[in-house]
Structure 1
Amino acid sequence: MSESLPVHREDGELVGFLTEGDGRWTAATVFGYPLSEHETREDGEDALVGKGLSYLAERWAVQRDDVWMRAELVEASPSHVTVQLVDMSHPDRYGERVELAAPVTTGLRLER
């Protein structure tokens, strides 16, 4: 895969990254989590700009001790993402914060 290309909104805000590989473009979050694949760079850019940073407010899960737990993103940047555990089935861990180094491709998933 080639280098990740930053994608910005018109106001300059970073909304994610695009990476080309095998003739397709992968759109990823600001912390490197892959969101979608596209045939063209333009389609990938349009998807990221159109979605904006709304993925930050979506449902996420983080893997801790081989268990997936619900989490909310509390900070996201090109270098890391911080999540807060909000899984009521694990009350002893509720509110715990976990920082993951970017790019995040394992141990975190978007709950669709």
Structure 2
Amino acid sequence: MREIRRDDDGALLGFLRPVDGGWEPLTVFGYPLGGARPEGEAAEEVHRSGLEVLMRPWEFLEDGEWYRCVILEAAAGEIRIRPNDHRYPHDVYALTLERPGPATFRPR
């Protein structure tokens, strides 16, 4: 994988993963930002939306149910989330999800 960093301060924005026929843009925690494309286009996507997607509402899967949440922190391979759904049955402030992917974590 190749890191993509902001030019002015070096902040990590996300990654590019080589795939057949191109590069897949990924968030800082490794979630796909879209399908494979040429390297330059994939890097532009990470610059454009790599950090912005962290502010969007998301959903996580637990025991067969999807629950709304917000991302509190994101790092390579994991995120800390806060459940933001009145239906969530546990009284917790934050959860850590390791290697969240589309099967267990998705944008709302």
Task: Sort the TM-score into its range (normalised by shorter chain).
Answer: 0.7 to 0.9
Between the aligned residues of both structures, percent identity stands at 27
Match of 1:98 in 2: 95
Is 1:55 paired with 2:53? yes
In structure 2, stretches of 5+ residues that fail to align are none
The answer as to whether partners of 1:27 and 1:35 remain within 8 angstroms in 2 is yes
Give, in whole Å, the separation in 2 of the partners of 1:32 and 1:107: 13
Provide the aligned C-alpha RMSD in A.
1.6
Question: TM (normalized to structure 1)?
Answer: 0.85
Match of 2:13 in 1: 15
The answer as to whether partners of 1:85 and 1:94 remain within 8 angstroms in 2 is no
Larger deviation, residues 61-70 vs 20-29: 20-29
State the Cα distance separating 1:52 from its structure 2 match.
4.2
Give, in whole Å, the separation in 1 of the partners of 2:16 and 2:90: 34
The answer as to whether partners of 1:18 and 1:44 remain within 8 angstroms in 2 is yes
Residue correspondences, number: 106
State the Cα distance separating 1:79 from its structure 2 match.
3.6
Question: TM (normalized to structure 2)?
Answer: 0.87
